[in-house]
């Protein structure tokens, strides 16, 4: 279904003044700013002062706590801040603040505006709100912001780790687009080549400008924010996140759930995605190294995964969330020998095209080099994960989504995925 796109999208030093003018023009005279303690210091106070000076009725809710999670408790906190007056909700923050605000505004049928505080995620323009439901990360359909106003000075002054996280999220499009193409080629998953190319192009633009982004020059931050918004618009135009979220995001989601279960501190989404992209690029590198004859031999030896064994693996990896994860993975758990043989035949018949898809993914060493230039982590140990926890993600992250990614291809071909950890 078509979704309304944010209009306008402003990335400029006077973006907040333009936001105030926009509200007057659209008669959004009553507003609720949603922020946390950090984003309030970086942006919220400046935004509130700008809107008040413009004569608008402004309330603000600040989400407190060491870790802000997009869950029922935070949604309830924002709902309590509504006073019965129809208010446009303004997300003064980055990923989590945007998702919470997006969800509440959609369910309450209120207008939603985005005021990013850091170029750290690609979800500003999208319609999906990744929420933690009963311990499982689920993307729920909501709506895009009516408009986006990114104060360039605030975003260029964001912590380097957050800028690096946004850059890493964009680098993840190299593997997500490849997975998008694989899913269509091998399992007839819904696909759009224009969306794939647009998403791939934002990764290439940021790759070329890595050094400037690492230095946080205003021009490069504007470029990065444009790339993040464009990726979100691709999600919006396609109707789901398949082009922008592949195996690298599945690893990131697995790690996020693991941290929550163990009560460990959160890690920036983009930082996890960047390291996961290095690992997934390593699997694509293995794919590039296989000849057709080797693939034929591997496919001959490949057998349908045992359903009971798969369910046991899901249970061991996800515990209390295993049942919900298994439901998500039902299409793969219910494969028959005939459907599995069909996938194997399509792999062999399309091996040249699979190689062409894999060739579009930079080598893992290049992904790591780019992440380092931007000031982001490049290894699982820098994220604070053990090798065993990295292996768990590689083995089990793919269960979170009903998509055929390179992780599924590696399973069919019997590749040693943990080689990417070396």
What's the chain's length in residues? Answer: 422
3-state secondary structure 289-356: CCCHHHHHHHHHHCCCCCHHHHHHHHHHHHHHHHHHHHHHCHHHHCCCHHHHHHHHHHHHHCHHHHHH
Predicted local confidence at residue 15, as pLDDT:
98
- In DSSP notation, 351-401 reads HHHHHHHHHTSPPHHHHHHHHHHHT---SHHHHT--HHHHHHHHHHGGGGS
Domain boundaries 9-158, corresponding CATH code: 3.40.50.1970
Burial 212-239 (b: 16+ CB within 10 A, else e): bbbebeeebbbbbbbbbbbbbbbbbbbb
Contact present, 101 and 210 (Cβ < 8 Å) = no
Q: What is the pLDDT along the chain (422 residues), one digit of tens a residue?
A: 456 889 999 999 999 999 999 999 999 999 999 999 999 999 999 999 999 999 999 999 999 877 788 889 899 999 999 998 999 999 999 889 999 999 999 999 999 999 999 999 998 998 888 888 877 778 888 999 999 999 999 999 999 999 999 999 999 999 999 999 999 999 999 999 999 999 999 999 999 999 999 999 999 999 999 999 999 999 989 988 899 999 999 999 999 999 988 989 989 999 999 999 999 999 999 999 999 999 999 999 999 999 999 999 999 999 888 998 999 888 899 999 999 999 999 999 999 999 999 999 999 999 999 999 999 999 999 999 999 999 999 999 999 999 999 999 999 999 987 777 76
Tokens of 136: 């499982």
Compute CA 261 distance to the chain's CA centroid, rounded to the nearest angstrom.
Answer: 20
Predicted local confidence at residue 422, as pLDDT:
60
Contact present, 305 and 420 (Cβ < 8 Å) = no
Predicted local confidence at residue 1, as pLDDT:
45
Q: Where are the domains of the chain?
A: 9-158, 165-421
Cα dihedral angle (361, 366, 371, 372), rounded to 10 degrees?
180
Q: Give the span between the Cα atoms of 28 and 47, in whole angstroms.
A: 15
Q: How many CB atoms lie within 10 A of CB 120?
A: 30
**By three-state DSSP, how is residue 149 classified?**
strand
Going by C-beta distance under 8 Å and a sequence separation of 6 or more, which residues neighbour residue 91?
34, 97, 98, 100, 101, 102, 112, 113, 114, 115, 145
Q: Give the span between the Cα atoms of 108 and 75, in whole angstroms.
A: 11
Rounded to 5 degrees, what angle do the CA atoms 292, 294, 300 make? 100
Residue 233: in which H helix or E strand, if any?
helix 218-238
Q: Are strands 136-141 and 147-151 parallel, antiparallel or unpaired?
A: unpaired
DSSP secondary structure code for residue 284 in this structure:
H
Contact present, 325 and 135 (Cβ < 8 Å) = no
Q: Give the span between the Cα atoms of 251 and 230, in whole angstroms.
A: 23
Dihedrals φ, ψ of 376, to 5°? Answer: -105, 165
Contact present, 113 and 92 (Cβ < 8 Å) = no
DSSP secondary structure code for residue 5 in this structure:
P
Domain boundaries 165-421, corresponding CATH code: 1.20.1090.10
Predicted local confidence at residue 36, as pLDDT:
95
Please, where are the H alpha helices in 40-172? 45-53, 72-81, 95-108, 152-156, 160-171
């Amino acid at each position: 279904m078509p979704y309304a796109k944010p209009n306008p999208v402003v990335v400029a030093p006077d973006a907040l003044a333009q936001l105030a003018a926009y509200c007057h023009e659209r008669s959004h005279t009553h507003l609720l700013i949603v922020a946390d303690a950090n984003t309030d210091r970086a942006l919220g106070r400046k935004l509130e002062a700008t809107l008040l000076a413009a004569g608008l009725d402004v309330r603000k809710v600040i989400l407190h706590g060491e870790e802000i999670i997009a869950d029922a408790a935070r949604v309830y906190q924002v709902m309590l801040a509504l006073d019965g007056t129809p208010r446009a909700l303004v997300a003064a923050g980055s990923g989590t603040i945007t998702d919470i605000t997006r969800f509440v505004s959609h369910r309450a049928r209120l207008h939603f505006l985005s005021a990013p505080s850091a170029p750290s995620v690609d979800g500003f323009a999208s319609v999906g709100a990744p929420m933690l439901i009963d311990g499982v990360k689920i993307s729920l359909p909501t709506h895009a912001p009516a408009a986006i106003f990114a104060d360039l000075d605030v975003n260029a002054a964001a912590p380097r780790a957050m800028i690096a996280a946004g850059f890493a999220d964009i680098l993840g499009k190299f593997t997500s687009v490849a997975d998008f193409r694989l899913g269509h080629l091998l399992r007839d998953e819904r696909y759009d080549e224009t969306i794939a190319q647009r998403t791939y192009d934002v990764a290439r633009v940021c790759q070329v400008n890595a050094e400037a982004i690492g230095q946080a020059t205003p021009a490069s931050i504007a470029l990065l924010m444009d790339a993040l918004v464009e990726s979100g618009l691709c999600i919006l135009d396609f109707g789901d996140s398949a082009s922008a979220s592949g195996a690298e995001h599945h690893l990131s989601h697995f790690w996020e759930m693991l941290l929550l279960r163990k009560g460990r501190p959160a890690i920036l989404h983009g930082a996890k995605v960047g390291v996961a992209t290095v690992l997934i690029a390593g699997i694509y590198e293995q794919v590039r190294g296989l000849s057709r004859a080797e693939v034929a031999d591997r496919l001959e030896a490949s057998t349908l995964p045992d359903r009971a064994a798969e369910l046991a693996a899901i249970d061991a990896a996800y515990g209390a969330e295993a049942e919900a994860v298994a439901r998500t993975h039902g299409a793969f758990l219910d494969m028959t020998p005939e459907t599995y043989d069909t996938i194997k035949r399509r792999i062999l018949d399309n091996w040249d095209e699979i190689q062409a898809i894999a060739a579009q993914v930079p080598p893992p060493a290049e992904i790591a080099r780019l992440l380092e230039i931007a000031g982001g982590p490049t290894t699982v140990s820098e994220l604070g994960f053990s090798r065993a926890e990295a292996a768990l993600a590689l083995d089990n992250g793919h269960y979170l989504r009903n998509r055929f990614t390179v992780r599924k291809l590696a399973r069919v071909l019997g590749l040693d995925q943990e080689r990417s950890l070396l």
